[in-house]
Structures are given as structure tokens and as C-alpha cells.
Amino acid sequence: MKVYEPGKIRNIALLGHAGSGKTTLAETMIFESGTSRKRGTVEAKNTISDYHEIEKDKQKSIYSSLLHLDWRGTKVNIIDTPGTSDFYGQVSEAFAISDVALFVLNSEAGVEIGTEAFWRAAESKNIPSMIVMNKLDSDKSDFQNAVDSAKERFGRGVVVVQYPYSEGDDFHAIIDVLKMTMYEFPEDGGKPDKLPIPESQRAQAELLHNELVEAIAENDETLLDLYFENGSLDEYQMTDGLNMSLLNRDIFPVFCACASRNFGTGRIMGFLGNVAPSPLDRSINLKDGKSYDMNPEGSPSFYVFRSSSETHVGDLTYFKVTGGTIKSGMDLVNRRTQDGLRMGTLYICQGNKRIEVSEVNTGDLAVAVKLKDMQAGDTVTMKDNISLEFAPIEYPNTTMRVALKLKKEGDEDKLGSALNQIQKEDPSARIEHSQELQQTILHGLGEEHLNVILYQLKERFNLDVEFIRPRIPYRETITKRVDTQYKHKKQSGGAGQYAEVYISIEPWEEGMPQREDLNVRNVDEIELEWGGKLIFQNCIVGGVIDNRFMPAILKGVMDKMANGPLSGCRARDIRVSVYDGSMHSVDSNEAAFKTAALMAFKDGFLKASPQLLEPIYEIEVTLPSVYMGDVMSDLSSRRGQILGMDAEGTIQKIKAIVPLQELDQYTTRLKSMTQGSATYSRKFYDYAQVPPDIQKRVIEETLAAEAEKN
Ligand SMILES: Nc1nc2c(ncn2[C@@H]2O[C@H](COP(=O)(O)OP(=O)(O)OP(=O)(O)O)[C@@H](O)[C@H]2O)c(=O)[nH]1
Ligand SMILES: [Mg+2]
């Protein structure tokens, strides 16, 4: 297998809303390049990219696939990403190593929500971006509308390089205003005839050609001078200008295709080879915030963008070479673990097929087998190159959680190691073994994402497991001050137990004044690991309780804070002042004071109008404006409070705060309300008081569960 020079490599991520035709386009490009002899389809479940059983079953991409082709001596690596927002984790990994984002738009719909989300991500990562208008053969295709929507959303950098001669059933030719040529395709696609632009199209083609020339010249002073001198630019000047404008994200060229019939792919690959940036033109972010230029002459290094495993093969580590040449047998070090590793056989990928290579040059993407403990985001270097460490991959925040329940006892360890493996391969999923909730909680990006994990647990790891409703991490607090006292006294033969404490408990908030009526000798401000604070004050006068018992008293209070008196949930934001008590010279000890404090605290807490608090999340919903009414009224039925709204064209954004309890099935509901077109993100906001009816229900449920346990 040929080894490519860095300048002859292109790393392209195919991005776009679900179903826009990315997988079909990848398949067709590989076929048209001659790298594969057969052209599969999503419907026939035989594409190179969607090779997982679950992808065939669902007829959509779920995992990003690494593919490659050779187009006239240039190696084009393609990462075909899934368009469904649930699998955004896969896209994050593609972003980390792609040098060009090729946005595939469905020309029937123009910019859709998924396209928008990926575009914003590419923008924030400064990735050169191109657009392919696909499905131009569809009778609902509307090229002009799709271009207008792209211009409206992504700005005037969107410039037409090609437009269809005619659309729909009759789509058979593309007019290229960079080459000023018409490409006419044979019935079954493939290599087109190059024809002069027909008279009827000349005016339009010239208009668009001038727009393109002006857009290129605008971004480059030398070209602008040439343009003024000659009134035009030649193809080579335009190509140079386009390369720079692409790199700087000044221009987003628009191409035309019908992926399913193989129209337009050759010219796209030609443009990728001749104009699009190579890895040498791009840099990678380092952990310290600086950026790193690819270094073909430097010390060998690579950046891991995916870790997975396969039965009979073991661990697979996907990486991009960032320096020198990587060869099998090399000894390197993983900077995260500091573990040494020896490179085994190296492969390049065509979906699930691996082709052995002897070495991999800077800029290229490859896979290594049997490297231990590798994670996406790892930096691997030579032993002495200790300063290099790349920035971690940024995964989106999760939006949905479920609890896992094993149907069979005894499988706990097996489930634990399966979850570890899943988490390692898919860092966009998060596994939480919650002591507090006594549940294993799986966090993901939506129902489909979680279902894929469930499918893996069942099919790959042979576990009989189901999803159940996750508990809510409520908190408890009090709403008024109560002074209380408890005497712990036991005298049943042998050494007795004696401790008496008087405490005052009150709701605490930041900046609250100190008590004037107490003689405060010492204040402990304790940041609770579950959020909020406990302020613990020693206000003992006249030594009625020895200082040495204070830690035991605090321990008693903390024990009850961790297992709240109201419902067993964790308590927060309380000030406890120990102001009186008594000791016995023989029978008082730490255990006695701990018990007395715990009992006093519990008693006071229950008298202090206790209040349950629930977690509130801030959410941002992105949706087509037609669904505004439905989504808004649904939010209000979920006790949501709208913080703001923002319209950008036909896409609407709503910011709101909503209790976590009301968000459990939200992703699914949102999808069904908006025909799958809306997405949302969420992050923790604060704790807030639970309405009385819910408080009553939660307490009853807790008591019932307790009773069942005992
Ligand atoms: N008419 C028409 N249909 C197409 C074209 N390209 C793809 N399709 C069809 O569109 C559907 C979706 O195509 P995919 O290639 O799976 O789309 P995708 O973008 O990979 O979708 P996800 O993986 O779910 O994000 C399939 O039924 C394809 O056959 C095209 O150019 N014209
Ligand atoms: Mg796909």
C-alpha cells in the first residue's frame, strides 16, 4: 500500500443533518475514484461506511466511519459522521482531526437543524468548510432556496461554484462557474462530458462567475490588484485564492451532487485534491491553549481520536499522525498514562476492512491494534518529547439519563466492566454509580443514543438488563430557626453513655449576619460535596462541653445531613450553633456526643418547616419556528420558566429553566413534537423548592420504600 506525503493527504469530515446523503456520497466517491469496485446503497444495507448491524437495521449512521480513496495521487480520508444529534459524540471526534468539513445539504430542505449545529461547531473550531447540495434529482429539490438558506444562516461567504442546469427528474448537468464548463452526466452517472455552457445559461453563469471572482479577490490584496488590472482572474489565480479563503473561512464554496446516481462526485474530489487544505495547512490545539503545526520532519507523535475494540482482535486505536512517520515496532509513550507502548501492525481503514501499511506519515489517519489503555484525546510521543500534549476532545453535555437494572443477580461485575468499556469507546456517554441514589445511572445524548448502549449491553456483552426511571437527587433544607436539645443517657451496667447538647439550627444563605445573641467562639464553613454549605458554630460558654467533643458533634450533624431527616436525601444550607449542654466526668465520650448531636439535629430539622429542593436545569432548545407554539406550551406544562427567546431566520432558540424531574423523557417528547427536527442542550442551574404536592408524594414514596426494605 502506498505511503502518501503529507501534502497529498486530505482529511474530510462529512457532516450534515440526518438523511442528507453523507453515507451515499462517501460510497459513491469511493466507487468513482476506483478505490472500490462496487457501489452499495443504504437501502441494500451494503455500504462500506454503515457496516454495523445496528446501522444496517436502522438504515442510518450511528458511528463515524473512517474511509479513504485515492483521487489522482491524493489520498482523501473521509470520516462519514452520523447526522442524528444523539450521536454527536462521534462527530466531536471527527472534528478533532479533520482539516475540511464537507457539509452535505439536502437540496429539498436547505439548512436543517443538524446542519446548523454542526456548522456552529465547525465555526468554533475554525475548520474550513464546503457545501454540497445533494438530492438535486428529487422532484422537491430547490437549489436556489437551499443556497439562500445557507447564505442567510452562514453569511455571504457562501458562494456558488456550481449550479444545476435543471433540477428534479431532469437533473443531468451541472454548470461550473469556476471552470466555466458544463458537466453532462450519462444516465448511470460517473464521468461527465465536458461541454461549453449553453447560450441560455451564459448570462447566469457569468454573473455567478463574477460573484465568485469578486469574493475571492476581496479576501486577497494581490488578487484584488490583479482583478482590477485585468478585470478577471484566471483559473490558477482563483484556485490559489480559494485555498486561502477556505483556510481563513472567508469562503464556503457550494457544489452540486446527486449521490445516489453518482453525479458530481468527480469534480468534488478534484476540488478536494487541488484546492482544499492539506494537514500541513492546519494546526491542532494543545492542552495549554497554544496551537501545534504538523511536523513531518519532527519527532514521531500522534493524536488518538477514537478507541474501540472488536471481538477476536482486541483494542483498536484510531489516530492522526502529528509528527514524523509512525512505523510498527516503534517504542512510544502515552502522555496521559506515562505508559510505554510498542506499535504493532498498522492499518488504514475502509469501514470495517483494515489494510496493512508499513508506516504512516504526518497528517494521515490510521489504526493500531492491541495498544492498552488508550483513550480518545490521548497524545502519544517519543520518550524524550515530554512537552507535547494535545487538547482533549470536547464532547457535548448529556441530555438524558436512565437507571440500569439487571434482571439477574450476580451480573454486577460483568455490567461494571461492560460499562467501563462502553464509556471508554464512547466518551459522550457518562456512567455514574450513584451512592446517593443507589442506582447506576447512564447519561446520554438522547433516547436513540441510550438505546444503542442498551443494544450493546445485550448483544455484545450478553447482559440481561433494562432501563428504569432514575431517582432524582433531591436536597433537603429548613425554612425557619429552631432551638432544640437532646440528652443521650444510657446506664445499663458497665460503662454508661452520657451527652447533652443544645443546638440552634437555622436556614443559611451567603452573606447572612452573625448571631448577636450567641457567643460564637469558632465557625466551620463546610462546603458540602453534594452542593451548598453547612455552617457549624461552637458557641459553648463556660466549658460545659469540652472542645474535644466538638468534632464528634459535627460528625453527628454531618451524618444526618448526608441522610436527611425528611426523606433520606442530602441536606444543605444550614447553620448549626452548639450553644449549651452538659458532660459527665466518666460516661461522656465521642460516641455519646455524636448520637446526641444527631438526634438533636434530626428533631430540630423536622420542626424547622423542612423543605425539599429539586435540581433545576437550564436548557436551550433549537427548533424550527413552526413548532414554537407546541414547544412553549409543553415547556409550561413541565413547570418551565422561559428565560429568553432568539430567532435566527426560521430557526428559533428558547432558553428556559426546568426541573430535572420534568426532563426525564424530554428529548423523546421534543423529537416527536417537532418531527425530529429540534435539539436541546442542558446544564445544571440550581436547586429550588419543590411544590408542596410533590414534596408530599416524594416523602410518602421514600417512607414506603424504607418500610419495604425493613
Ligand atoms: N433522491 C436521492 N436520494 C438520495 C441521494 N443521496 C442519498 N439519498 C437517499 O437518502 C437517504 C439517506 O441517505 P444516507 O446516505 O443514509 O444519508 P446520511 O446523511 O448518511 O444519513 P445519516 O447517516 O442518518 O446522517 C437514503 O435513502 C439514500 O438513498 C440523492 O442524491 N438523491
Ligand atoms: Mg450516514
Angstrom CA distances, 489 to 27, 152, 492, 501, 545, stand at: 80, 77, 10, 12, 15
Query: What digits encode the pLDDT tens for the residues 331-345?
Result: 999 999 999 999 999
Q: Compute the distance between CA of residue 443 and CA of residue 423 in angstroms, rounded to an integer.
A: 10
Helix boundaries (H) for 426-497: 447-459
Buried b (16+ CB within 10 A) or exposed e, 648-664: eeebbebebbbbbbbbb
Query: Nearest bound ligand to CA 24?
Result: 1
Greater model confidence, 112 or 555: 555
Burial of 34 from C-beta contacts in 10 A (0-12 / 13-18 / 19+): exposed
pLDDT band at 175 (very low <50, low <70, confident <90, very high): very high
Pick the atom of ligand 1 nearest to 59's CA: 16
**135 within ligand 1 shell (Cβ under 6 A):** yes
Q: Compute the distance between CA of residue 609 and CA of residue 606 in angstroms, rounded to an integer.
A: 7
Q: Hey, is 506 helix, strand or coil? A: strand
Question: What spacing in Å lies between the alpha carbon of 43 and ligand 1's midpoint?
Answer: 9
Same domain, yes or no: 187 and 52: yes
Residue 248 maps to which CATH number?
3.40.50.300
- Residue 419 inside a domain? The answer is yes
Grid coordinates given for 184: 453532462
**134 within ligand 1 shell (Cβ under 6 A):** yes
Q: How many domains does the chain have?
A: 5
**141 within ligand 1 shell (Cβ under 6 A):** no
Same domain, yes or no: 605 and 683: no
Question: Which residues are found with C-beta within 5 Å of the ion, ligand 2?
Answer: 22-23, 61
Q: Which domain holds residue 407?
A: 400-471
Q: What is the mean pLDDT of residues 183-209?
A: 97
Same domain, yes or no: 579 and 672: no
pLDDT band at 650 (very low <50, low <70, confident <90, very high): confident
> Where a domain ends, among 260, 283, 306?
283
The pLDDT > 90 percentage for the chain reads 86
Q: What is the mean pLDDT of residues 282-287?
A: 93
Q: What is the pLDDT at residue 710?
A: 67
Bridge partners (DSSP) of residue 686 are 616
Same domain, yes or no: 31 and 68: yes
pTM, two decimals, is 0.88
**115 within ligand 1 shell (Cβ under 6 A):** no
Same domain, yes or no: 625 and 598: no
Same domain, yes or no: 300 and 377: yes
Q: Is residue 486 within 8 Å of 600, Cβ to Cβ?
A: yes
Angstrom CA distances, 574 to 481, 533, 611, stand at: 10, 7, 12
Inform me whether the pLDDT recorded for 522 exceeds 90: yes
Q: Is residue 412 within 8 Å of 360, Cβ to Cβ?
A: no
Q: Compute the distance between CA of residue 415 and CA of residue 470 in angstroms, rounded to an integer.
A: 17
Mutate to test the pocket of ligand 1, among 14, 23, 261 (most ligand atoms within 8 A of CB): 23
Q: What is the mean pLDDT of residues 643-650?
A: 88
**259 within ligand 1 shell (Cβ under 6 A):** yes
Burial of 259 from C-beta contacts in 10 A (0-12 / 13-18 / 19+): buried
Among residues 11, 155, 164, the alpha carbon closest in space to that of 75 is found at: 11
- Residue 219 inside a domain? The answer is no
Query: What digits encode the pLDDT tens for the residues 349-402?
Result: 999 999 999 999 999 999 999 999 999 999 999 999 888 999 999 999 999 999
Same domain, yes or no: 109 and 31: yes
**82 within ligand 1 shell (Cβ under 6 A):** yes
Inform me whether the pLDDT recorded for 597 exceeds 70: yes
Interhelix angle 113-124/143-154, nearest 10 degrees: 40
**23 within ligand 1 shell (Cβ under 6 A):** yes
Angstrom CA distances, 562 to 40, 83, 533, 558, stand at: 58, 43, 12, 6
- Residue 477 inside a domain? The answer is no
Mutate to test the pocket of ligand 1, among 30, 42, 51, 105 (most ligand atoms within 8 A of CB): 42
> Where a domain ends, among 609, 640, 666?
609
> Which residues, at least 6 apart from 156, have a Cβ–Cβ distance to it below 8 Å?
215
Q: Is residue 70 within 8 Å of 3, Cβ to Cβ?
A: no
